[in-house]
Amino acid sequence: MDRIPRSFLAVDPETLARRLLGQRLVRTLDDGTRLAGIIVETEAYLGVRDRAAHSFGGRRTPRNESMYASAGTAYVYFTYGMHHCVNVVCGRRDEPVAVLIRALEPVEGLDVMRTNRAARRAHKQPLRETDLCSGPAKLAQALGITRELDGVDLTRAGPLHLERARTRPLPRAAVVNTPRIGVGYAGRWAARRLRWRLAANPHVSRP
DNA sequence: ATGACGATTTACT
DNA sequence: GTAAATCGTCATA
């Protein structure tokens, strides 16, 4: 209901990664169905100096062009030949910094999420609620997020947007800060603690 | 035209 | 724990 203003998103990626925790990501389907979850895990990507970022060294291609858009834009990329992941861009134009949404606690449209997630599995094993959105590609599958949504404005009601679910900052003890996942190739940048997650939340990708 | 590589997930040993 | 799946994307030629 309550959209998130651009000013809330136009901050450095470390600040944004931390403050997105507890907020809501909403996917609205063409028929009006809402699929939504509370953000419980994020990672900051620091731009041209960050070896792990797609924009490292100023790399700018059709794939990552929306990282260079202004704060509040969605950067949706495709990887491993089969997975999509969503970022919230937070820089000014031409400053390619963003926050990767890594996990959600599902709160709306769980039945559709279950269908979306089950569709791509060969051996239909039981799908627990904590398997729905507990990873960046899992949540993209569950919410039906693809490259079609790359570049959308996350501050306006639309096919994909952010909503305020919490006004007060989270208590310090409710948040855990760790190194990022899956960026072992990034040398010293792999060790930097640029991942944030809610403590004691079962919907995160990994403890 | 070709080849190497993933900001991952799943299944299997 | 390890490895397969799977292909768009980009750099090199």
Q: What is the CATH number of the domain that holds A131?
A: 3.10.300.10
- Is there a domain that residue A175 lies in? yes
Write down the pLDDT at residue A121. Answer: 85
Is the shortest CB-to-strand distance from A9 to strand B under 7 Å? no
Across the range A53-67, mean pLDDT stands at 98
pLDDT in tens, A162-196: 999 988 989 999 999 999 999 988 889 999 999 99
Q: How far apart are CA A129 and CA A188, in angstroms?
A: 35
> Chain B bases under 7 Å from protein CB?
5-12
State residue A1's pLDDT score.
72
Domain that holds residue A172: 6-198
Q: Residue A207 domain-assigned?
A: no
pLDDT digits (tens, 9 = 90+) for A119-160: 888 776 789 999 999 999 999 999 999 999 999 999 999 999
Could you tell me which of A159, A49, A39 has the C-alpha nearest to residue A100? Answer: A39
Q: Is the CB of A43 under 7 A from strand B?
A: yes
A203 in any annotated domain: no
CA A66/CA A162 separation, integer angstroms: 17
Amino acid whose CA is nearest the C1' of B10: A121
Q: At what angle do helices A136-143 and A110-119 cross, to 10 degrees?
A: 110
Query: What one-character-per-residue DSSP string does A92-138 give?
Result: STT---EEEEEEEEEEE-HHHHHHHHHHT-SS-----GGGSSSSHHH
Q: Count of domains in chain A?
A: 1
Taking 3-state DSSP, the helix, strand and coil percentages for chain A, each rounded to the nearest 5, stand at: 25, 25, 45
As a whole number, the mean pLDDT across chain A is 96
The reply to whether A32 has its C-beta less than 7 Å from any atom of strand C is no
- Residue A20 in domain: yes
Q: Is the CB of A62 under 7 A from strand C?
A: yes
pLDDT at A196: 98
Within-domain flag for A1? no
- Determine the Cα–Cα distance for residues A107 and A25; give it in Å rounded to an integer: 10
Do the domain assignments include residue A102?
yes
Whether A204 maps to a domain, the answer reads no
Residue A141 lies in a domain: yes
Our measurement of the distance from residue A192's CA atom to the centroid of its chain's CA atoms, rounded to an integer in Å, reads: 19
The answer to whether strand B lies under 7 Å from the CB of residue A86 is no
Name the DSSP class of A180. Answer: P
